[in-house]
Amino acid sequence: MTDSEITAVVDKLLIEEFELEPDQLKPEALFKDDLDLDSLDAVDMVIILEQEFKFKVKKDTAFRAIRSLGDLHAYVLQKKSEM
């Protein structure tokens, strides 16, 4: 799977799980301020990412530093490259 395919899957998961509009999903979009997602949504995000990409997020402190969609894309790409 290419990097662009991975980011497209991440975006698709967010659209489906949180009922976001595709035009909201810009790399600079902040989860809290722009996408109106909270800490409970972050828990759901961890679950769907783990299920889709088959890696563990739960104890990874780097995940807690994610603030924007671009940060999330970079995080998922890094995790996939480590597999």
pLDDT in tens, 10-54: 999 999 999 999 999 999 999 999 999 999 999 999 999 999 999
Mean pLDDT, residues 65-78 = 95
Annotated catalytic sites, by residue?
38
**Per-residue pLDDT at 83 exceeds 90:** no
pLDDT at residue 61 in the model:
87
Which long-range contacts link 25-32 to residues 24+ away (Cβ below 8 Å)? 25/69, 26/69, 27/68, 27/69, 27/70, 27/73, 28/68, 28/69, 28/70, 29/68, 29/69, 30/67, 30/68, 31/66, 31/67, 31/68, 31/69, 31/72, 32/67
